[in-house]
A and B are shown apart, each in its own frame.
Chain A
Amino acid sequence: MNLLIGILQGLTAGNLLQTDRGRTFWMPPQGSTGASSVDNVFDLIFWISMFFFALIVIVMVVFVFRYRARGRELDSKPGVPKHNFRLELAWTIIPLLIVIGIFYVGLRGFLDMAVPPANAYEVQVTAQRWKWLFTYPNGYVDENLHVPVGRPIQLVMTSEDVIHSFFVPDFRLKMDVVPGRYSKTWFEAKNPGQHQIFCTEYCGTGHSDMLASVVVHEPGGFERWLEDAADFIENLPPAEAGQMLYQQRGCAQCHSVDGRAGIGPTLKGIFGQTHPMQDGSSVTVDEDYIRESILDPQAKVVAGYQPVMPTFQGKLKDKEITVIIAYIKSLTDSGGEQEEG
């Protein structure tokens, strides 16, 4: 069996073994304290399954050779057993006891992961098509999940639109993120480093691009990072701070900055342009129009686009809107000459 696994490794996963520490043939590295208990359950079921699978295949192969007919003339064997109550009862009851054991082990592992410790650090998670937003206790929002090493983290999650699912393979962690309710899950990262976050509930066009990272900081590093990151509006030039918000808050999912039309109009060169609106009027894009479009997106929709943008009322502060406007202006300044209306 080891030989078979070895061959399979060579065929499929060999290159992974050399590059990723802690990755086994079946499982990604164990990034959280809960991962090893899941892997233990996996291993137990794996070897039980292997045993029964080998049993089935060996008996099958032996019977196939032992009882194959010689020619088409069939020998009638008297005394062929048609049933055997004790034997059949045995292969009913023994598997039953085994699966009840597996049920119990699986339940125990699940309960360990279901109850967060009392001292857990809480991060709010908001899912939207096709973006994760992580809100820290001080109100700072980031597109990746930054956490300190060795401290239980509780995630309180909700969705703005359809159902998503938060999945970190290295943590063996998965929980659906449902609109209209809050779901909770927790983990404790073992080592500093990065881990992949996937969305695992199908959510449309960008489902497979709804990725993010868990960034696990060294002891003390998380607090420093959070302080710096939360002050980025003060620390960075306005246009750069605006660009960060553009990336982090989901603007980029619909508005390109390279001239491509998306779900919404491109922001490239838009400042100062005049556009026809759905209601037939026309608007020249200035600071007030941008502000209005962010807070009340349905008020004046550019002709040719659907009124699908969510409002950011209460989600973006005034100074954040100011730097976003600065960023949009910068896309015109650097964009070469514009035809003005």
Chain B
Amino acid sequence: MSSYQSNAGHAEAGANYLNHSHGLRSWFLTLDHKRIGILYLVSILTAFLLGGIFALLVRTELWTPAETIMDADTYNKLFTLHGAVMIFLFIIPGIPAALGNFVLPLMLGAKDVAFPRLNLASWYLYLIGALFSLYSIATGGVDTGWTFYTPYSTETNTSVASITLGVFILGFSSIFTGINFIVTIHKLRPRSMTWFRMPLLLWALYATAIIQVLATPVLGITVLLLFLEKTLGIGIFNPALGGDPVLYQHFFWFYSHPAVYIMILPAMGVISELFTTFSHRPIFGYRFIAYSSIAIAVISFLVWGHHMFTSTQSGLVNTIFSFLTFLVAIPSAIKVFNWLATMYKGSLTFQTPMLYALSFLFLFGIGGLTGLFLGALATDVHLHDTYFIVAHFHYVMFGGVVIAFLGGLHYWWPKIFGRMYNETWGKISALLVFIGFNVTFFNQFVMGSQGMPRRYYNYVDQYTSYHQYSTVGSYLLGFAFLIMAVYLLHSLFRGAKAESNPWGGPTLEWECASPPPHENFAETPQVGEAYDFSGIEYDPETDSYKKRRAVPSAPPPPTS
């Protein structure tokens, strides 16, 4: 057995970050990136549950063309809260702050992030921002849509002021995470971990962090201006006060379009990891994938105007934004082709995370390609603000980001909690999520191109069958998540003990024990080529994989 060695050996006593210290204090004042990752994970999953319940209520109301279970004002508040909670409390922090916090230092070979206190502060800011949002809900809700368009948002007497303050605070949480990741990747890489040896998730998180740091302040300023207009009557956006309502849209989308990439880039990073691990071969076209993440981060700042083709923006501006929008499609296409090529001559296994990766290719393919209809000016004018848009962004945000998040959650679950979940139920639920999602959203493309506008409480009778189809799909989707919740919770208590590398992953986090020790690595790991699968071998005894090294990582004497 001497030829097998890994950092896992140091944790054999059973000491890990979960039992390193005890009590509430040890969790709520922790500086350990892994524990902060779990604090985030619990928070965002709570937000996801809340946002999901809002969604099911919205879909239920839409069962009939007129009132089904609630009045128009309640419906308007529910779709607003569904959007705001899902975007600001779940998807944006989802992969970076929860999964990223946990795995980034591990994949890098570091003991923690660069600023552990800032990391904890970002979680507390998230919590305070979330409390502001809950306060808005408790004091009557918000009915503006998650976009808070002026002058509607400055005129409505719902709780817009408190939720915009919440968004302002959440923005700082996001900025803190971004700064932390940038500095960590620059300064805490082990000497042997060069830029082009980094796992692609780290490239993606790095690109994401750049957008978080550069774009989020604009959102902060925008919602602050909105807050000032609303509370002090300073005219910035409201034409009744001498302001310009379209200016608000520019400010808002200057953040919120890059924010779409804050959501999708880390998802793409996760998918890169999944494809290479479950193909059991090095990723195809490492550099193209890495550079495409950076390209997306840069171009994403220049396309915000494509949300405003019908906003009275000039024809020339529309033309420029349409062109730039098509350019941002290319890096995404490159990634899709490279993931496909990664399966070529691979040795594919199909555990639950891989099912999510394949599901991602299918759904993100549809989400991306339907973007072409919306980037083209002539068709966007017809499709803008209809259910076609609703379907498109759900295919990207759910079919892309949430599916990748679920893939990542299942992939790192054994590492995070040291327990395996039930593989059969995992597969069943992945399949049901896929079916339920398509039933809910695919026909919304058709309903939208047939003219059904979004954010409608009542609707014209001809759309009834599409809506009912969608509603049935949403229940199926809810049921799939129920199954997932049950088997994941079950695994926490009864799951089989996880080995350090159950999938055969090539990156550093699989070299430490599951769950990892408090210090991550007893000694700084020696890093070779990215995604080096040579030496990873299946061990039938433990039904997991072990890495055999030609040279041990500790300072030699070389053995045979």
Given A106-B378, A200-B385, also A63-B449 (CB < 8 A): no
The answer to whether B45 has its CB under 8 Å from any CB of chain A is no
Return chain B residues, CB-CB under 8 Å to A192: none
Given A56-B365, A99-B326, A99-B372, also A72-B245 (CB < 8 A): no
Return chain B residues, CB-CB under 8 Å to A199: 453
For B234-253 the 0/1 string (1 means CB < 8 A from A) is 00000110001110000000
Return chain B residues, CB-CB under 8 Å to A82: 282-286
CB under 8 Å from chain B, chain A span 131-170:
161-163, 165, 167, 169-170
Q: How far is the CA of A53 from the CA of B365 in the complex (A)?
A: 6
The 8 Å CB contact of B376, one of A45, A174, A180, is: A45
Q: How far is the CA of A171 from the CA of B250 in the complex (A)?
A: 27
Distance in angstroms from B364 CB to nearest chain A CB is 10
- B73:A205 contact, CB within 8 angstroms: yes
- A48:B372 contact, CB within 8 angstroms: yes
Return chain A residues, CB-CB under 8 Å to B341: 81, 84, 87
Given A81-B344, A91-B333, A106-B377, also A169-B326 (CB < 8 A): no
For B91-119 the 0/1 string (1 means CB < 8 A from A) is 00000000000000000000000000000
- A183:B312 contact, CB within 8 angstroms: yes
- A99:B457 contact, CB within 8 angstroms: no
Q: How far is the CA of A198 from the CA of B459 in the complex (A)?
A: 10
The answer to whether B451 has its CB under 8 Å from any CB of chain A is yes
For A84-123 the 0/1 string (1 means CB < 8 A from B) is 1001100110011001101101111111111000000000
The answer to whether B462 has its CB under 8 Å from any CB of chain A is yes
The answer to whether A209 has its CB under 8 Å from any CB of chain B is yes
Name the residue of chain A whose CB is nearest to the CB of B361: A60
The 8 Å CB contact of B334, one of A45, A59, A64, A92, is: A92
Distance in angstroms from A93 CB to nearest chain B CB is 9
- A196:B155 contact, CB within 8 angstroms: no
The 8 Å CB contact of A109, one of B338, B378, B386, is: B378
- B312:A178 contact, CB within 8 angstroms: yes
Return chain A residues, CB-CB under 8 Å to B538: 72-74
CB under 8 Å from chain B, chain A span 174-203:
174-176, 178-181, 183, 196, 198-203
Return chain A residues, CB-CB under 8 Å to B318: 110
The answer to whether B455 has its CB under 8 Å from any CB of chain A is yes
Distance in angstroms from A277 CB to nearest chain B CB is 22
Distance in angstroms from B65 CB to nearest chain A CB is 10
- A69:B372 contact, CB within 8 angstroms: no
- Residue in A37, A76, A202, A209 with the greatest tally of chain B CB atoms within 10 Å: A202
- B443:A12 contact, CB within 8 angstroms: yes
- B378:A67 contact, CB within 8 angstroms: no
Distance in angstroms from B153 CB to nearest chain A CB is 9
- A167:B455 contact, CB within 8 angstroms: no
The answer to whether B35 has its CB under 8 Å from any CB of chain A is no
CB under 8 Å from chain B, chain A span 290-340:
none
Q: How far is the CA of A178 from the CA of B246 in the complex (A)?
A: 8
Return chain A residues, CB-CB under 8 Å to B232: none
Q: How far is the CA of A176 from the CA of B205 in the complex (A)?
A: 37
- A49:B370 contact, CB within 8 angstroms: yes
The 8 Å CB contact of A111, one of B152, B315, B330, B462, is: B315
CB under 8 Å from chain B, chain A span 197-228:
198-209, 211
The answer to whether A233 has its CB under 8 Å from any CB of chain B is no
- A56:B280 contact, CB within 8 angstroms: no
Chain B interface secondary structure, helix, strand, loop or mixed? helix
Count of CB-CB pairs between chains A and B under 8 Å: 283
The answer to whether B329 has its CB under 8 Å from any CB of chain A is yes
Q: A21-29, A242-250, A263-271, A279-287: which one contacts chain B?
A: A21-29
- A204:B349 contact, CB within 8 angstroms: no
The answer to whether B76 has its CB under 8 Å from any CB of chain A is yes
Return chain B residues, CB-CB under 8 Å to A205: 72-73, 76
- B245:A88 contact, CB within 8 angstroms: no
The 8 Å CB contact of A163, one of B76, B152, B376, is: B152
Name the residue of chain B whose CB is nearest to the CB of A199: B453
The answer to whether A234 has its CB under 8 Å from any CB of chain B is no
Q: How far is the CA of A27 from the CA of B312 in the complex (A)?
A: 25
- B457:A162 contact, CB within 8 angstroms: no
Distance in angstroms from B69 CB to nearest chain A CB is 16
Given A161-B155, A174-B310, A204-B152, also A69-B280 (CB < 8 A): yes
Distance in angstroms from A81 CB to nearest chain B CB is 7
- B361:A12 contact, CB within 8 angstroms: no
Q: How far is the CA of A99 from the CA of B312 in the complex (A)?
A: 25
Q: How far is the CA of A306 from the CA of B329 in the complex (A)?
A: 50
- A83:B149 contact, CB within 8 angstroms: no
The answer to whether A3 has its CB under 8 Å from any CB of chain B is no
Distance in angstroms from B77 CB to nearest chain A CB is 11
- A202:B340 contact, CB within 8 angstroms: no
Name the residue of chain B whose CB is nearest to the CB of A306: B157
Distance in angstroms from A86 CB to nearest chain B CB is 12
Q: How far is the CA of A313 from the CA of B428 in the complex (A)?
A: 66
Q: How far is the CA of A169 from the CA of B382 in the complex (A)?
A: 7
Return chain B residues, CB-CB under 8 Å to A204: 76, 143, 152, 156
Return chain A residues, CB-CB under 8 Å to B279: 67
Distance in angstroms from A183 CB to nearest chain B CB is 5
For this complex, 18 residue pairs linking A to B, each with C-beta atoms less than 8 Å apart, are A11-B469, A16-B462, A23-B450, A45-B379, A56-B361, A67-B344, A73-B538, A77-B347, A80-B282, A81-B344, A82-B286, A91-B333, A96-B330, A110-B378, A113-B381, A170-B451, A178-B246, A179-B239
- List of 7 A-B pairs having minimum Cβ-Cβ separation, nearest first: A106-B376, A169-B451, A109-B378, A180-B239, A110-B377, A208-B456, A49-B369
